[in-house]
A and B are shown apart, each in its own frame.
Chain A
């Protein structure tokens, strides 16, 4: 195995240091979340002297976080499912099928990828308002899909380009329609890419603040990150409660990642043998 290279052992040392450096902030956040406000202001680094579970409770109950959590869960899961479906369909067509205008359509997607949200923020709000989609779940879902679809298509296209054309040809000879090729070959073979882009799309949607603020003016329709952000007012120095909110928001995404990253590494073999 390639892993027997002598260099690997030496490389593991800085990588372990980096691993510590990436765990530390989460530990630090957890530590702060357990402190009282007073303790935090007087000494930020010290280990917490008590476990202030109150902070977590306060963060959870103060601004209707439970409802925001449910909102986020709904909106993000539907958005990501749509993103993966539409992104893989378009990615397949743009990478493996030949048709008039495919290059131009691909360029449109790339160009859309490069649009900073700030430039379309206000007009988008207006378009959505005209369509009566402001303050509705479909509106927010659509806004997320539009925002992250170019990214998803870009990744799926570049991934599918790596799949040899012979595989598609062979499947057609077996009597598959284009849709059959998509369902039976492309979707299973795309699993690693779908999982990784799925993780990233989940992260983007889950952590978004601005789009959600813009699309959901009503307090009861807001998403989790807005609740977390509002734990930190204009001048608020209650960092422990804010840190608790950050933890509450971070844990679900972390779980999704920890669950899926194994599938990325292991799922491949399953995908390619099936195909």
Chain B
């Protein structure tokens, strides 16, 4: 046994000294003479039924431009997507084109991606949401959807409580009062909240942020000048705690999954409001299916602080990027462009209900909620939580659970977040 320990110690020391195995292989230089016959795309969307027409149109568009090139879409399960991508990046071997979530997930991996600025210049005006896919002034992916956090409400519950479904509360005080009336009349809670994954706080922060921070504070936050000790930032976290302790949320928020249990709470009429999404799920189409398309309302963030100006928080949602190791960058970039044509995105919007990145899509015939959301995009701002690092978001999730259970105070939480934000 002793010998075995000694032997392992020697081995460990040797490895520590040697520790030179490079994480990334040197990328082989692209040889243009090689004829590329096939492009491989990784994503987690193309297998879904609601994306079928979108993919079909994008493929057709690409085939017209490059008839000899085959395109294979490989749908990966989302829970292992970034793990597999990590393995591919370490081996510098993998798909030519890949899907990313905007924000931290793509910014952490730009070293493996190709800057797309020269290829997508023509699309810059037509599409929105580029910032979430940019780092240090360079664009790394073309946005497909916009993701944001409108506050949805159930008009039927408003009617039952004798409230005006067309005129939701404009201030936090009024909202709390309305919720009291709804609870009395229908028994429904004010908010559907799922914070099992720690996502509830992200939606809360971004959904209500513009009603709490002043426009100056908001812009500073996005620009990276975040004062965690300011009274208004603390007010946001205090509001989170207060909403729970005054019974506005559904029971057991810390054990309710945002995806998709919290959405089901709204869909079954057990809560009147939810800070939802604009794409993927938990959006107007999802709620409309259960509540009736014209019974889903969208309201602006209720004002808490004087001088705050409510705005729609949104960023680029998902977008396609090109790997550094692809053999023919222009070809791969062309595929990305085919994946963001108006025609293709229009299909994605109408089938999946995603708010697409293309600003020229006609939404006038859609449900009223869509009209409200799209009309607010111009005045919208980036979401507060998207500006934070993955690490800080992870910490915020855990601390927010402590706030709900009462095992941490707002001051402690803000202090820890400030430290993490500074370090990351």
Contacts and interface: CB of A to CB of B under 8 A. Distances in A.
Verify whether A and B have any Cβ pair under 8 Å.
Answer: yes
A62 B46 CA distance: 12
B4 to A, nearest CB: 8
Interface residues of B, number: 33
Interface residues of A, number: 26
Interface string A115-136: 0000001100110010000000
A32 to B, nearest CB: 14
B101 to A, nearest CB: 9
B28 to A, nearest CB: 14
B80 interface: yes
Interface in B236-263: 259-260, 263
B278 to A, nearest CB: 13
Contacts of B268: 41-42
A237 B78 contact: no
A214 interface: yes
B15 interface: no
A42 B47 contact: no
Contacts of B76: 213, 230
Interface string A40-62: 01100000000000000000001
Nearest to A232: B77
Interface in A55-86: 62-63
Contact of B267 (A42, A125, A129, A236): A42
B282 interface: yes
A121 B281 CA distance: 32
Contacts of A235: 259-260, 280-282
Contacts, number: 71
A125 B87 contact: yes
Contacts of B86: 122
A226 interface: yes
A125 B91 contact: yes
Interface string B80-95: 1000101100110110
A230 B260 contact: no
Interface in B173-188: none
Interface string B44-80: 1101110000000000000000000000111111101
A219 B80 contact: no
B84 A129 contact: no
Contacts of B91: 122, 125-126, 129
Contacts of B290: 38, 41-42
A261 interface: no
A210 interface: yes
A230 B76 CA distance: 7
Given A125-B91, A129-B91, A219-B72, A214 B280 contact: no
Contacts of B84: 213-214
A252 interface: no
Contact of B87 (A41, A42, A121, A236): A121
Contacts of B44: 233-234
Contact of A234 (B40, B72, B78, B264): B78
B107 to A, nearest CB: 19
Contact of A218 (B48, B72, B80, B93): B72
Interface in A194-253: 209-210, 213-214, 217-219, 226, 229-230, 232-237
A210 B90 CA distance: 17
Contacts of A226: 77
A218 B368 CA distance: 42
B267 A209 contact: no
A230 B47 contact: yes
A258 to B, nearest CB: 29
A237 B49 CA distance: 13
A23 to B, nearest CB: 25
Interface string A12-47: 000000000000000000000000001001100000
A218 B74 contact: yes
Interface string B263-288: 11001100000000000111000100
B80 A213 contact: yes
B263 A237 contact: yes
B113 to A, nearest CB: 19
Given A126-B91, A237-B281, A219 B74 contact: yes
A121 B85 CA distance: 13
Nearest to A238: B49
A128 B77 CA distance: 22
A122 B260 contact: no
Contact of A209 (B40, B47, B80): B80
B163 to A, nearest CB: 24
B293 to A, nearest CB: 15
B75 A230 contact: yes
Contact of A229 (B48, B72, B77): B77
Contacts of A237: 259-260, 263-264, 281, 286
Interface of A: 38, 41-42, 62-63, 121-122, 125-126, 129, 209-210, 213-214, 217-219, 226, 229-230, 232-237
Given A42-B268, A226-B77, A236-B281, 5 more contacts: A42-B290, A129-B93, A214-B87, A237-B259, A237-B281
8 contacts: A42-B267, A42-B290, A121-B87, A209-B80, A217-B74, A230-B47, A230-B75, A237-B259
Q: What 9 pairs across the A-B complex have the smallest Cβ distances?
A: A234-B78, A235-B281, A237-B260, A229-B77, A230-B47, A122-B87, A235-B280, A41-B264, A235-B259
